[in-house]
Structure 1
Amino acid sequence: MPVNCFKCRHFFTTWDARNPRGCKAYGFKTKELPSVVVKRSSGMECLKFEPKQVEGHRR
């Protein structure tokens, strides 16, 4: 199952219209979901995925 960047604590939205999505763990911005770029360039699913902490909940 592919990694869902929207649920990852490292995912962020940028102000750059050409590269609106980013990954703090890997340090890049892209048009696509960062997990897609990682999979295409490395052949592996993202290994840096960490679930976001929901406010008021601890895991």
Structure 2
Amino acid sequence: MVNDSNHLDTKLCSRCAHYFITYKPNFPYGCRALNFQSRRMPCSEVFEASGTNCLMFMKKPVP
């Protein structure tokens, strides 16, 4: 069974200008705005730590 909240977090992070892939096996995802890398998507980490959605989200510019 797929958890919809995780799916939503993935979409939010992948559309954010601050999101990046580190290519480190232990910490594959990162956020430049909050300056951290994690095993899970940054939006999930932020929500777990603060109880709110990420306030640093900035939509990627469209070319």
Match of 1:28 among 11, 36, 41: 36
Aligned to 2:58: 50
Which residues of structure 1 form unaligned runs of 5+?
none
What is the DSSP-based 3-state SS (H/G/I as helix, E as strand, rest coil) of the residue aligned with 2:43? helix
Aligned to 1:18: 26
1:13 and 1:50 map into 2 onto residues whose CA distance is 17
Residue type of the partner of 1:48?
A: M
1:35 and 1:15 map into 2 onto residues whose CA distance is 18
Write out the 4+ residue segments of structure 1 that deviate beyond 4 Å after TM superposition: none
**Could you tell me the TM-score, scaled by structure 2's length?**
0.80
Paired residue total? 55
What is the DSSP-based 3-state SS (H/G/I as helix, E as strand, rest coil) of the residue aligned with 1:22? strand
RMSD between aligned residues: 1.4
- Name the structure where helix makes up a greater proportion of residues: 2
Aligned identity (percent) is 35
